[in-house]
Structure 1
Amino acid sequence: MKAAVYYQNGGPEVLKYEDVPDPVCHPKGVVIRVEAVSIEGGDTLNRWHGPLLTKPHVVGYQAGGEIVEVGSEVTNLRVGQKVATSYNFGSHAALRSVPARSAWPVPKGFDVKLASTIPVTFGTAADCLFEFGRLKAGETVLVQAGASGVGVAAIQLAKRAGATVLATASSDERLERLKPLGLDHGINYRTDDVVKSVMKITNNRGVDLVVDPVGGATLQGSLLSLAYRGRVSMVGAAGREPMTVDVSPLMAGNRSLTGVFLGAEIGTERAHNMIQRLIEEAARGELKVVIDRTFPLSEAGAAHAYIESRNAVGRVLLIP
């Protein structure tokens, strides 16, 4: 099969388009013919410095497609079924093998390309807001990197839950594109001081919850943006900066900082069912999947470079 692979960590230029052996179907797994790869922020981070679990390595968490082989111990999935999948690696390829627990059926009539983006992004956003963020109707949420995949999902889910939603992005144009999703107040972090803007918008109260997939210096701003008893759900290190922060503002305001990693619980009944529910809600039009751009799988390097330019709004797909 064809795949986007690399032999060493580095920038987008390390990705090569080559023939590699077809994946083997595990007795408790399935193999899918990939129709769309949803590139995650973690994919680019892994390309920079993650372990090479295969040689050459096929990176990537998420992909959607059609099941072409079912393991002997799998009873809930069938050949020909469309599924969205998430696993530690292997998405950037024409075929991928995943545990059956890491595949979610796509409702009939729903585009598998859209479904391919949902498990990690919407699942992560939901955990940041509800499972760990304890969001309640009437509260105020700040979504850092609002134009990211997790950001786009968090804005919609928070607004639907009755929250007032603030979000940051790198340009006014990107912020405008987020307003139809439920954004109430946008903050251009390149031209405005985020903390000062948050305090102005909230009449110096601060926000009840911050979803922060960026980390680094952004995380410090998230802590300083909190109201009394406010919470931060820290879910990533997209900024690629050292995680060095002063946590003393937490104690003074009885605030909290919680690390969130969907991968630690994605195999549980709770998380699996939550992701399936989100896919079904999107299929009914209750949630919007935003696709910024698609690239052929053969141009995976260009797609990664585009993501790292921070111009995208929503997800970038690779099409085998």
Structure 2
Amino acid sequence: MVVPQTMKQVRFSGPGGPEVIEVETAPVPQPGPGQVLIEVAAAGVNRPDCLQRAGGYPPPPGATQVPGLEVSGVIVAVGPGVAASRIGEKTCALVISGGYAEYAVADEPLCLPVPKPLSLLEAGGLPETYYTVYDNVFTRGGLKKGETILIHGGSSGIGSTAIQLAKQAGATVYATAGSPEKCAFCRSLGADEAINYRAQDFVEEVKRLTHARGVDVVLDMVGGPYVQRNLNVLALEGRLVQIAFLQTSKVDLDLMNVMLRRLTITGSTLRARSVALKAEIAGHLRQDVWPLLEAGTVKPIIHAVFPLEQARAAHELMESSAHLGKIMLEVAR
């Protein structure tokens, strides 16, 4: 395959709002040892991209400053140690950065096959979301069949994925969302109940729904005042899993319930982990989740698609929280 020398990519002119997003021409990156070069078909837009743009989530040292944590496309070149037979494969990959571009470098162990029912566009919304949900809900949160989970932000990309996977695992699923439309969306994906947090107190609703028992797992990306309230809705041996802070990470807590109810507070980020640790998650996804995607039992929900050149509009939509599911960038050729 002939790979050009230059490409279009998104850059941030400095920390700030969506107005700092620009498109520039730059050299096509070269894959290093154990890496592949992907001709990008689509890239997912995620909250961490907005945080990076604002100056709060920089890529690790040595990584490209180009945003984008997940891509799909075709492998067009390989680095040392990667079989040349991989050239021409369709793949979706978790990347440390660089997804908002016509070409992106990915570590080979983090490249997964495109599930048969899905287009490349749909597959581009899988890696960051599914890696995050699987690791936090099932590995860190330990959700099991017959347990109950509360998922905040149920209409988001993360939330819509978590609802589907938790339901397939045999859990009872409650979700919060900010409007009747979003609550109906959550129920359509399998949520047993959706709570409109603007009109209802989710603590009281969860207590009512569980007959005061509480839930086994809470998946939260809000933080701030939600942290104490999340602890208050956990059942005995419950687990709070924190994956982001749309509000503040600094909170004033009464931790008595942690002792009395034997609770666990955990959380994680994905980007800074080693390739080996991320590859472990990829192995679990291939074994446990990819068959569900192949069967069409779960699927990515795409709300809107923008051309790469309209990344600014994609970020504006993300920060409006008006979307239901994933926001995608598509590379036109």
Contact persistence 1:168–1:188 (CA under 8 A):
yes
Count of aligned pairs: 319
Give the drift of 1:108: 4.7
Letter in 2 for 1:202: T
Given candidates 259, 278, 296, the residue that maps to 2:307 is 296
Give the drift of 1:284: 2.2
What corresponds to 1:25 in structure 2? 31
Contact persistence 1:217–1:243 (CA under 8 A):
no
Give the drift of 1:123: 2.1
Superposition map of 1:210-229 within 5 A? 210-229=218-237
Distance 1:255 1:109, change over 3 A: closer
Superposition map of 1:121-160 within 5 A? 121-160=129-168
1:207 aligns with 2:218: no
Choose 48-57 or 2-11, whichever is displaced more.
48-57
**SS of the residue aligned with 2:41?**
strand
Give the drift of 1:292: 0.5
Instruction: Name structure 2 gaps, 5 residues minimum.
Output: 1-6
Letter in 2 for 1:241: T
Distance (whole Å) between structure 2 residues aligned to residue 253 and residue 77 of structure 1: 54
Deviations 1:236-272 (A, max 9, x none): 22x1423314133212211111113344366335312
What corresponds to 2:249 in structure 1? 242
**SS of the residue aligned with 1:113?**
helix
Distance 1:95 1:241, change over 3 A: same
Letter in 2 for 1:51: P
Given candidates 306, 310, 314, the residue that maps to 2:321 is 310
**SS of the residue aligned with 1:150?**
helix
**SS of the residue aligned with 1:36?**
strand
**SS of the residue aligned with 1:121?**
helix
Contact persistence 2:117–2:296 (CA under 8 A):
no
What corresponds to 2:69 in structure 1? 61
Instruction: Name structure 1 gaps, 5 residues minimum.
Output: none
Letter in 1 for 2:58: P
Give the drift of 1:44: 1.2
Contact persistence 2:131–2:282 (CA under 8 A):
no
Give the drift of 1:76: 7.8
Distance (whole Å) between structure 2 residues aligned to residue 262 and residue 4 of structure 1: 22
**SS of the residue aligned with 1:155?**
helix
Choose 70-79 or 194-203, whichever is displaced more.
70-79
Give the drift of 1:58: 1.0
Give the drift of 1:95: 0.7
**SS of the residue aligned with 1:96?**
strand
Choose 210-219 or 266-275, whichever is displaced more.
266-275
Distance 1:10 1:2, change over 3 A: same
Letter in 2 for 1:255: L
What corresponds to 2:3 in structure 1? none
Deviations 1:52-93 (A, max 9, x none): 668993111011111111113102861111111112210011
Contact persistence 1:115–1:279 (CA under 8 A):
no
Distance 1:195 1:293, change over 3 A: same
Distance (whole Å) between structure 2 residues aligned to residue 77 and residue 280 of structure 1: 24
Distance 1:14 1:248, change over 3 A: farther
1:15 aligns with 2:26: no
**SS of the residue aligned with 1:209?**
strand
Note the aligned Cα RMSD (angstroms). Answer: 2.0
Contact persistence 2:152–2:220 (CA under 8 A):
yes
What corresponds to 2:4 in structure 1? none
What corresponds to 1:46 in structure 2? 52
Distance (whole Å) between structure 2 residues aligned to residue 253 and residue 192 of structure 1: 25
Given candidates 258, 267, 270, the residue that maps to 2:276 is 267
Letter in 2 for 1:38: G
1:276 aligns with 2:286: yes
Distance (whole Å) between structure 1 residues aligned to residue 209 and residue 84 of structure 2: 49
Contact persistence 1:266–1:272 (CA under 8 A):
no
Identity across the alignment (%)? 35
Give the drift of 1:113: 1.6
Choose 240-249 or 122-131, whichever is displaced more.
240-249
What corresponds to 1:99 in structure 2? 107
**SS of the residue aligned with 1:20?**
strand
Distance (whole Å) between structure 1 residues aligned to residue 26 and residue 52 of structure 2: 20
Distance (whole Å) between structure 2 residues aligned to residue 312 and residue 3 of structure 1: 24
1:87 aligns with 2:95: yes
Give the drift of 1:167: 0.3
Letter in 2 for 1:295: F
Deviations 1:112-147 (A, max 9, x none): 222222222122212222212122222111001111
Distance (whole Å) between structure 2 residues aligned to residue 69 and residue 22 of structure 1: 11
